[in-house]
Structure 1
Amino acid sequence: MLNKILIRPKSLLLIFISVLLLVAITVVYELRQSRQEALSILKSQAHSLLETILISSQEVLTASEEVESEINKRLLNNAEIIKLLLERNKLDNKILREIAASNNLHRINIFNNLGELLYSSFERGNKTGQGEFIGKYLAPIFNGEKDTLIIGLKESRMQQGYRYVTVLSTDSDGAIVINMDAEQLLEFRGRIGFGILLNRMTENEGVIYTALEDSSGILAASGNVKSLDNIVESDFLSESIENKQFNWRFTDFNGTEIFEAVHPFDVDDETIGLFRIGLSLAPLNAVNERITNRIILIGILLLVLGTVLLVLVFYRQNFDILRKQYQYMEGFAHQLINNANDIIIVLNRLKQIKEINPAGEKFFELSSDQIKNYDLNKLLCEGAENQIFNTSSQIIETTCLRGEEKKHLLLSRSSFEDSEKELFYVLIIRDLTSIKELEQQIERGKQLTAMGNLASGVAHEIRNPLNAIGTIIQQLGRDFEPTADKEEYYSFTKLVYNEVKRINKTIESFLKLAKPEPIVRKHFILSEFLKDIELQHKRNLEDKNIKLIVENYYDGEVFWDVDQIKQVLINLISNAGDAIVNTGEIKITAKQHEDNIIIVIADNGNGIAEENIGKIFNLYFTTKADGSGIGLGIIQRIINEHGGIISVDSKIGEGTKFTIKLKQE
Structure 2
Amino acid sequence: MKPFFFEEKPYGIFRAGLSLDGYNAVMRGSRRQTIVVSGVLFLIGIVVFTLLALNQTFEVVNKSYTEIRSFTTAVLESMETGVVAVDSQGRVTVLNQAAHQILKVNSSVLLRPYDEVFPDDPLRLKELLSGKETGGEFETEILGSTVSVSISPLYDSEEKVSGGTALLRDVTAIRKMEQEMKQSERLSLLGDTAASVAHEVRNPLNAISMAAQRLEEEYAVKEGMESAKNFSRILRQEVKRLDGIVSQFLSLARPSELNLQKSDLNRLVTETVALAEGEAGPLSVEINALLGDIPELMLDPDELKKAVINILRNGMEAAGKGGSVSLSTRVDGDMVALRIEDTGKGMSKEKMRKVFQPYFTTKERGTGLGLSIAQRVVADHGGRIDVDSTPGKGTVFTIWLNVPPFEGSV
Partner of 1:460: 199
Partner of 1:409: 147
Shift of 1:514: 1.9
Shift of 1:430: 0.8
Partner of 1:505: 244
Structure 2: distance between partners of 1:525 and 1:380? 49
Structure 2: distance between partners of 1:633 and 1:499? 23
Structure 1: distance between partners of 2:117 and 2:213? 69
Give the conservation status (yes or no) of the 8 Å contact 2:129–2:153: no
Q: Which amino acid aligns with 1:411?
A: V
Q: Which structure is richer in relative contact order (CA contacts within 8 A, separation 6 or more)?
A: 2
Question: Aligned match of 1:435 in 174, 188, 191?
Answer: 174
Structure 2: distance between partners of 1:2 and 1:523? 80
Q: Which amino acid aligns with 2:318?
A: A
Question: Aligned match of 2:368 in 615, 629, 634?
Answer: 629
Partner of 1:579: 318
Q: Which amino acid aligns with 1:430?
A: R
Structure 2: distance between partners of 1:329 and 1:499? 76
Percent of counterpart pairs with the same letter? 23
> Is the alpha carbon distance of 1:608 and 1:332 closer, same or farther for their aligned partners in structure 2, counting shifts above 3 Å?
closer
Shift of 1:388: 5.5
For residues 551-562 of structure 1, what are the structure 2 equivalents within 5 Å? none
Give the conservation status (yes or no) of the 8 Å contact 2:389–2:396: yes
Q: Which amino acid aligns with 2:185?
A: K
Greater CA drift, 336-345 or 443-452: 443-452
> Is the alpha carbon distance of 1:481 and 1:542 closer, same or farther for their aligned partners in structure 2, counting shifts above 3 Å?
closer
Backbone CA RMSD of aligned residues: 5.2
Shift of 1:367: 3.9
Q: Which amino acid aligns with 1:410?
A: S
Shift of 1:357: 2.6
Q: Secondary structure at the match of 2:151?
A: strand
Q: Which amino acid aligns with 2:374?
A: I
Shift of 1:363: 3.7
Deviations 1:175-232 (A, max 9, x none): xxxxxxxxxxxxxxxxxxxxxxxxxxxxxxxxxxxxxxxxxxxxxxxxxxxxxxxxxx
> Is the alpha carbon distance of 1:442 and 1:344 closer, same or farther for their aligned partners in structure 2, counting shifts above 3 Å?
same
Structure 2: distance between partners of 1:2 and 1:644? 69
Q: Which amino acid aligns with 2:72?
A: A
Question: Aligned match of 2:377 in 638, 659, 662?
Answer: 638
Verify: 1:397 aligned to 2:138, yes or no: yes
Q: Which amino acid aligns with 1:334?
A: T
Per the normalisation by structure 2, the TM-score is 0.60
Structure 2: distance between partners of 1:3 and 1:594? 62
Partner of 1:514: 253
Deviations 1:6-25 (A, max 9, x none): xxxxxxxxxxxxxxxxxxxx
Q: Secondary structure at the match of 1:573?
A: helix
> Is the alpha carbon distance of 1:363 and 1:555 closer, same or farther for their aligned partners in structure 2, counting shifts above 3 Å?
farther
For residues 151-170 of structure 1, what are the structure 2 equivalents within 5 Å? none
Structure 2: distance between partners of 1:621 and 1:544? 23
Structure 1: distance between partners of 2:235 and 2:96? 69
Shift of 1:527: 7.6
Partner of 2:101: 362
Shift of 1:347: 3.4
Shift of 1:460: 0.9
Shift of 1:623: 4.1
Q: Which amino acid aligns with 1:633?
A: S
Structure 1: distance between partners of 2:114 and 2:332? 26
For residues 104-253 of structure 1, what are the structure 2 equivalents within 5 Å? none
Verify: 1:336 aligned to 2:90, yes or no: no
> Is the alpha carbon distance of 1:609 and 1:462 closer, same or farther for their aligned partners in structure 2, counting shifts above 3 Å?
same
Shift of 1:329: 4.7
Deviations 1:55-87 (A, max 9, x none): xxxxxxxxxxxxxxxxxxxxxxxxxxxxxxxxx
Structure 2: distance between partners of 1:540 and 1:378? 53
Verify: 1:450 aligned to 2:189, yes or no: yes
Q: Which amino acid aligns with 1:399?
A: T
Partner of 1:146: none
Structure 2: distance between partners of 1:506 and 1:661? 24
Structure 1: distance between partners of 2:69 and 2:394? 49
Q: Which amino acid aligns with 1:352?
A: R
Shift of 1:407: 1.6
Shift of 1:434: 1.4
Shift of 1:359: 2.6
Shift of 1:461: 0.5
Deviations 1:267-291 (A, max 9, x none): xxxxxxxxxxxxxxxxxxxxxxxxx
Deviations 1:546-594 (A, max 9, x none): 5667789996787765654543343223222212343345466888999
Q: Secondary structure at the match of 1:344?
A: strand
* Runs of 5+ consecutive residues of structure 2 not aligned to the other structure: 1-50, 404-410
Give the conservation status (yes or no) of the 8 Å contact 1:573–1:586: yes
Give the conservation status (yes or no) of the 8 Å contact 2:248–2:369: yes
Shift of 1:611: 8.1
Give the conservation status (yes or no) of the 8 Å contact 1:596–1:661: no
Structure 2: distance between partners of 1:379 and 1:559? 49
Per the normalisation by structure 1, the TM-score is 0.40
